[in-house]
Structure 1
Amino acid sequence: MIKGSCLCGDIRFDTAAQPKGASMCHCSQCRKQSGGIWSSAYVRDEDLNITGRVSWFVASAAAKRGSCRRCGSFLFWKAHDEDTTSFALGAVDGNTGLSVEKHIFAASKGDYYEIADGVPQKD
């Protein structure tokens, strides 16, 4: 079981499913919202239990982003046309048991760091 929460604890989530697609996102939206690289993995919507009031922001024609209204923690990413939701690995309580599989939007990364871990990169 993976469990997590926002900084203030108003939103909690858990899943018994095995998360997939552990990635580090370097897109400008993730960098602006998180202040850096956003790490996430996803599960099917039906396998993710969320308690608390998520504030959903429609960030693009493709997806929305979920955060806590009280503390501002950026917790979820959801494509409009998919049945999965990504959750922030940094919000997980304890270890995840996952390893990063890929870096996404690597071409949009900030100029102040290098990606040097040998994990595949997708532009």
Structure 2
Amino acid sequence: MLKGRCDCGKVSFEVEDARKSVTVCHCSQCRRTSGHLWAATHAPFDKLHFTSEEGLEWYASSDYAKRGFCKFCGSSLFYRMNDEDGIGIAAGCLDSPTGMTVEKHIFVKDKGDYYDIGDGKPQIEKY
């Protein structure tokens, strides 16, 4: 069981059966909403249990997906496809130790020009 929260704690949760791998997305939308790149794990939505939802808001970032964030502190926490049973959970909001490792990078064609990817993990141009 992993635990996580936003910076101010007004969104907190526990999650079971989260992947041990992290996918790093470099698309322009993820960079804009997170301030850099988006690193996330994934879990079945029904395995995510909120212990506090006071600050949770959802933003429809496209016709096919939404993003969950804290309306008080601005923490970017979740990504969910509208028709999917799972949810992407920001790796950075999880309490350590997570036991997770980066598995791959996606949308590297769109990555920012101010950094390099040097960890040797697979890089997928699109996804």
Q: TM-score, normalised by structure 2?
A: 0.92
Question: Do 1:20 and 1:43's aligned partners in 2 also have CA atoms closer than 8 Å?
Answer: no
1:60 is matched with which residue: 41, 59, 62? 62
Write the distance in 1 (CA, Å) between the matches of 2:124 and 2:79.
Answer: 18
Cα displacement string for residues 32-61 of structure 1 (whole angstroms, at most 9, x for unaligned residues): 111111110110011111231411000011
Unaligned runs of at least 5 residues, structure 2 = none
User: What residue is the counterpart of 1:31 in the other structure?
Assistant: 31
Write the distance in 2 (CA, Å) between the matches of 1:104 and 1:47.
Answer: 25
Question: Do 2:80 and 2:86's aligned partners in 1 also have CA atoms closer than 8 Å?
Answer: yes
Q: TM-score, normalised by structure 1?
A: 0.94
The code of the aligned residue for 2:44 comes to R
> In 2 relative to 1, CA 87–48 (structure 1 residues): closer, same or farther, beyond 3 Å?
same
The code of the aligned residue for 2:80 comes to K
The code of the aligned residue for 2:108 comes to A
Unaligned runs of at least 5 residues, structure 1 = none
* Matched residue SS, 1:61: coil
Question: Do 1:79 and 1:85's aligned partners in 2 also have CA atoms closer than 8 Å?
Answer: yes
How many corresponding residue pairs?
A: 123
Is 1:86–2:88 an aligned residue pair? yes
Q: RMSD of the alignment, in Å?
A: 1.2
Write the distance in 1 (CA, Å) between the matches of 2:5 and 2:109.
Answer: 30
User: What residue is the counterpart of 2:77 in the other structure?
Assistant: 75
Alignment of 1:1-123 (within 5 A): 1-19=1-19, 21-50=21-50, 51-53=52-54, 54-123=56-125
* Matched residue SS, 1:101: strand
Question: Do 2:20 and 2:101's aligned partners in 1 also have CA atoms closer than 8 Å?
Answer: no
Write the distance in 1 (CA, Å) between the matches of 2:46 and 2:85.
Answer: 8
